[in-house]
A and B are shown apart, each in its own frame.
Chain A
Amino acid sequence: MKQLADLKNLARAASLGSAAIALLAASPALAQDLNALIWCDHADPALLQPFEEANGIKVNVKEFEGTGAGLAIVEQSQPGDWDVMVIDSIDIPRGVEKGLFEPLPEDKLPFGDLFAEVKMDGSTVVDGKRYGITEKFGYNTIGFNNTKVDPADMQSMAALTGDKYKGRIAIYDYYLPVIGMAAMSIGKKTAELTEADLPAIKDVLLKMKGNAKLVGEVVASQTALATGEVDILVGGGEWVTAGLAKENPALDFSIPQEGAVLWSQSLAMFADSKNKDMALKFIQYIMSPEGQARLATSSCYWGMPANTKAALSDDQKKALRFDEQPEFLARAQSYPAPDADLDKKMQDVWTEMLQAQ
């Protein structure tokens, strides 16, 4: 029994240590630094260093995945701990509802230079005040290896549910965009989805699952496509293919005839930030042509810069298919933005799909 007791003591010590480390990791280091809750693309030193050097400041970053997890970090922190946050554009109202965000000064940010379709006024403007600025966007659509599949087939979402590519498909593991794609494949608009649409959407998802080898998060799905484990990624797009264009030029994406789901991420400033001037400077830097180019080509994942004047090289623009954006944007539909009740039901449909054998 002593053996078990020793092991239990060891486990207890390890869990206490882990808790201490987690607390340290979650707490911003210094109040005078800039503290940012970010997605992995903002952790790239190539993005942060120029800002830090220019302003003589340290940017402390904390990565999170999913708005729920991000908001939980904020709720567990002291007011004023955080200065800026990267957030799904559609989720800005959730933060505003909790009183977290500060309205942004439109005259000090390059709103006029943004692609008009990604300003996302429906989400970023609440009660006439703008709380977020779109910094990066892209598409959840069909990513594929153009040497392994017929690119003509990738012009229709029917290829995802037919038999031709059975066992050669991966599905990106995020229910909102893929449910959006499933809805579009049966002629429904992503902005008008209701509970009544879910049975038909579930049928499409189950057919996709029947053809899929895996359902993977960002790294797993990217790896599967890059290593040839699968040839098609449902929900993929420039965020998978552009960063790998040099090493694997066969990776491509299409905007099929049914359209694609437009994803976008925004920057917001915390209302109780103790460093609002520097927070605004950071947002201005990220939205500048240079900052936009660095963010768009971040080592974590690439994506389209929201600013049309982003200082991208010709090769980078080619990989991102920059010049085709007007056509793509015209055919893209917005990310599904369900209310809390529909969101839960969508997630349950997704759970059913994952459990289906």
Chain B
Amino acid sequence: MLPFAAMGVLSFMQHGGDGSATFDNYRQFFDNPSYWRAMVNSLEVTLTVTAISVLLAYPFAWILAEVVPLRLQRLALMLAVLPFWTSYVVRSYSWLLVLSENGVVNKVLTGSGLLADPVQLANSRAGTVIGFVHFFVMLLTLTIFANLKQLSPSYRKAAADLGAGPLRTFLHVILPLTLPGIMVGAFLTFVLCIGDYITPQILGGNNELLMPQLIMMQIGRRGDFPLASALAIILMVVVTIAYLFCARWLKLERS
């Protein structure tokens, strides 16, 4: 709590000022469209990443839990967390090389005749999203997999006894029961994604700024810690709202 409190106090100071309290740093955020834009960009990227990651992770977790034989599940899980074993920075730079105009993806697309010219994947929002999704699909897979494994087979048997087909059983029984796993994973994805500086910095090509980049920018040369603190507090407010949203939903599902 101490660093957070210090940051809160600092956010009401003025860079190079006499120490008196001011709302200037917060006012700057609301007055400057470029700063606002950074928050909008962050939310757009984070929500996109979270949605894509959930959509990809669920079937992946399902396959791991239901299709892969029990004796191979440990190996499959190990492979699933493989991306976590490498350095975050190295992984992002690897993606930069893969997604660049001369990279593997564009070579395959142009070589196979699917595209006439290379597309710009690196140094764009698409690059940032791809880099994030690669990482967070694995995280979500683990939380959903854990949830799926905890489900008793009797739920499905009961649904079948009552005449529900596989799709109906999934939509009305399995999916609602695995929502806690999805929400925990989605919340973690949201929090980690919206506060991440490395991936957009390396893969986004600075063609747009996200909040963590805007915060770092205030510190780099000018050392404007008060403004950086105010921006960080605003970002934390957004994360808190996301948490309240998820927590409330989880509670409702359980009741």
Contact = CB atoms under 8 A, between A and B. Distances in A.
B34 A352 contact: yes
A347 B209 CA distance: 13
B42 to A, nearest CB: 12
Interface string B183-226: 01001100000000000011001111100001001011111110
A351 B123 contact: no
Contacts of B181: 3
A65 B225 CA distance: 15
B143 interface: yes
B37 interface: yes
| Interface band, chain B | 35 or more
| Chain B contact surface mostly | helix
Interface string B104-147: 00000000000000001011000000000000000000010011
B221 A68 contact: yes
B123 A66 contact: no
A217 interface: yes
B205 A213 contact: yes
A72 B184 contact: no
Contact of B102 (A65, A228, A354): A228
Contact of B205 (A3, A68, A175, A214): A214
Nearest to A4: B184
Given A216-B205, A216-B206, A352-B34, A71 B123 contact: no
A176 B205 contact: no
Interface in B151-190: 180-181, 184, 187-188
Contacts of B208: 354-355, 357
B65 interface: no
B96 interface: yes
Interface string A112-137: 00000000000000000000000000
Nearest to A70: B223
A227 B209 contact: no
Which of B34, B206, B219 has most A Cβ within 10 Å? B206
A229 B102 contact: yes
Contact of B221 (A4, A176, A224): A176
Nearest to A353: B34
B250 interface: yes
Give the secondary structure class of A's interface: helix
B255 interface: no
Interface string A188-214: 000000000000000000000000111
A347 B102 contact: no
B205 A220 contact: yes
Given A217-B201, A351-B217, A227 B34 contact: no
A213 B99 CA distance: 14
A193 to B, nearest CB: 16
A215 B221 contact: no
Interface in A160-178: 173-176
Contacts of A220: 96, 201-202, 205
Given A68-B224, A69-B223, A7 B188 contact: yes
Nearest to B96: A223
Nearest to A351: B34
B222 A344 contact: yes
Interface in A322-357: 340, 343-344, 347-348, 351-352, 354-355, 357
A284 interface: no
Given A1-B250, A214-B207, A354-B208, A229 B122 contact: yes
B20 interface: no
B87 to A, nearest CB: 14
B219 to A, nearest CB: 6
A228 B101 CA distance: 8
Contact of A3 (B35, B100, B180): B180
A3 B222 contact: no
A299 interface: no
B237 interface: no
A67 interface: yes
A74 B219 CA distance: 14
A355 B217 CA distance: 13
A93 B147 CA distance: 59
Contacts of B97: 227
Contacts of B19: none
A229 B223 contact: no
B34 to A, nearest CB: 4
A215 B205 contact: yes
B127 to A, nearest CB: 10
Given A213-B205, A355-B33, 18 more contacts: A3-B180, A3-B184, A7-B184, A69-B220, A175-B221, A212-B207, A214-B205, A215-B205, A216-B123, A220-B201, A220-B205, A223-B93, A228-B102, A344-B222, A344-B224, A354-B34, A355-B41, A355-B208
* Those 8 A-B pairs whose CB atoms lie nearest each other, nearest first: A68-B223, A214-B205, A66-B220, A215-B206, A214-B123, A66-B221, A351-B34, A355-B34
8 contacts: A4-B184, A67-B223, A68-B222, A72-B219, A174-B221, A214-B205, A220-B205, A229-B123
Interface of B: 15-16, 32-35, 37-38, 41, 93, 96-97, 100-102, 120, 122-123, 143, 146-147, 180-181, 184, 187-188, 201-202, 205-209, 214, 217, 219-225, 250
